Structure 1
């Protein structure tokens, strides 16, 4: 009997340790405040933009809820677009606050009611729909989509989906920048979701956190950046105390840098661009443990050796 009790006790301890490894980072990460100072540009972009937002839920085919768009209430001229890829088991409601934030900075943000985004196909369908609406005189988005300024970002499985949208579909040529957040190591990817960084030919940003060491460890993220073809600009940023779901809800500690990246890449915002300059703010912000840029220039913050 005592042997059985000992075995059960060992199993209990092992399960407790496994649960703490998986769930404790999720609990702790959100409760540690970002060290970003209020004087920083990153903090500036984590604040709300100037636009009031309206959402548009789109039914397509037999689905009453296929896509959701977040856009400024007053559509004036053409606006840049961000196509979003949900993580596994996630839906637009899991990123609602973040999408509203990005749209407040002048973007049209488009998401799907799809949690199986790794192949990129649902994102391609969303992009095609928006391009069609841009060409329809009776659409509220008629001539309001800047087809030369479209980017994509995704979380977890969706972070593979945005790569595959860009690299595996003809429509991927519209994509001008790709952002992968909590990019899974290839061993976690289903065969149809496997991504090939060598095919990326636009600026590529990978965000992960120090507490996301199981699904999105820094070494696999760095490997993705280093597989880019010569001359393709790639950035890898590892945030302190961020877990796998940091990006959900309002965007957490990733919100400011994500907004700045898209303002820089899709709007030519000089204030945002300065964050990523060779001696820019990103290398000085204590909130980032590792900062690595490759392609246009190789650089690494001195206190964040990747070995």
Structure 2
């Protein structure tokens, strides 16, 4: 009898100890979870979403695979890893509308803004302008007017020049909702692939003739997204951001985008960021899937609006972009390093 009582007491003691240990472990785990640091903010987490401004545009898009040409484009980008289906307009050969033109996007509340900076965005060879609809809407929602000029080749300076001309005419047209609403002194040229080269081409000549085109026109920067080879950084005199992709086999980060573009940008601040998980066609994916979309917005907001939060990713001794795990490598040239 005494042995049974002793055994039960021993068992009770073991259970009590086990219960106490489990309670302490759960408490410690809860405390660790409660005090675990938040993951560091990235440009994508802050700026990768939609901004506060509603978007106005006459552009209408449809799934690219609704046309034969679009179906081949649709298959190609998914082979390269795109997550989302692309959108296209009816511009030929994806439809029966004109193969050349300029699509316009602007903040629907632009009258309340007073004015908005301009981005002229040129796509790549064989790209339909509707493929950049999501990027355009993201930029507009952050307070920019966006022009997307297009034709099939999209590789030379006359394409962004056409977009700039349409913007200037809209700014001068009393019947346009953009009449005196585009701040031409904050004009940016942007481009993807071939369009990235075309944007650098026009940026090389525009500053010297801008005042002849319009007394208020000033080129504020170049956003070159996985740009084609027909451009030289040494000819640029305005701040330039090069965005490349670690999975891009069409415009590899180690090729011309460094050899004679970023590495020869001696006359202006320049940055280059090589994103993990980004292929050549990621910029026509959804903006949340294109992992550099937030960095593009941050740089544009820093350059156009002096956004102090965005500025921290690019300026100062402790600039934030190098610690962003999105990027395999990040660099800036001496003129960018000297910025304060």
Among 229, 234, 240, the alignment partner of 1:198 is 234
Give 1:139 deviation, angstroms.
1.7
| Paired residues of 1:38 and 1:44 also in contact (CA < 8 A) | no
| Paired residues of 2:275 and 2:328 also in contact (CA < 8 A) | yes
Name 1:55's counterpart in structure 2. Answer: 57
| Paired residues of 2:117 and 2:145 also in contact (CA < 8 A) | yes
Name 1:238's counterpart in structure 2. Answer: 274
In structure 1, C-alpha distance between the alignment counterparts of 2:40 and 2:104, rounded to whole Å: 30
Q: Cα 1:213–1:37, aligned 2, differ >3 Å: closer, same or farther? A: farther
Give 1:218 deviation, angstroms.
2.4
Unmatched tracts of structure 1, length 5 or more: 1-35, 187-193, 300-307
Q: Can you list the C-alpha shifts for 1:44-64, whole angstroms capped at 9, x where unaligned?
A: 100110111111359xxx959
Residue 103 of structure 2: SS of its match in structure 1? strand
Name 1:288's counterpart in structure 2. Answer: 327
Q: Which moved more, 1:130-139 or 1:198-207?
A: 130-139
Alpha-carbon RMSD: 2.4
In structure 2, C-alpha distance between the alignment counterparts of 1:102 and 1:115, rounded to whole Å: 23
Q: Normalising by the residue count of structure 2, what TM-score does the alignment of the two structures yield?
A: 0.69
Unmatched tracts of structure 2, length 5 or more: 1-37, 61-96
Name 1:135's counterpart in structure 2. Answer: 172
Q: Can you list the C-alpha shifts for 1:147-191, whole angstroms capped at 9, x where unaligned?
A: 11010111000000101121145349732100111123x3xxxxx
Alignment of 1:33-182 (within 5 A): 37=39, 39-57=41-59, 66-76=101-111, 77-169=114-206, 170-171=209-210, 174-182=218-226
Give 1:225 deviation, angstroms.
1.4
Q: Cα 1:295–1:90, aligned 2, differ >3 Å: closer, same or farther? A: same
Give 1:107 deviation, angstroms.
0.6
In structure 1, C-alpha distance between the alignment counterparts of 2:299 and 2:337, rounded to whole Å: 18
Q: Normalising by the residue count of structure 1, what TM-score does the alignment of the two structures yield?
A: 0.76
Q: Cα 1:240–1:298, aligned 2, differ >3 Å: closer, same or farther? A: same
In structure 2, C-alpha distance between the alignment counterparts of 1:222 and 1:64, rounded to whole Å: 32
Give 1:196 deviation, angstroms.
2.2
Residue 296 of structure 1: SS of its match in structure 2? helix
Does structure 1 residue 218 correspond to structure 2 residue 254?
yes
Q: Cα 1:66–1:213, aligned 2, differ >3 Å: closer, same or farther? A: closer
Name 1:248's counterpart in structure 2. Answer: 284
In structure 2, C-alpha distance between the alignment counterparts of 1:99 and 1:88, rounded to whole Å: 18
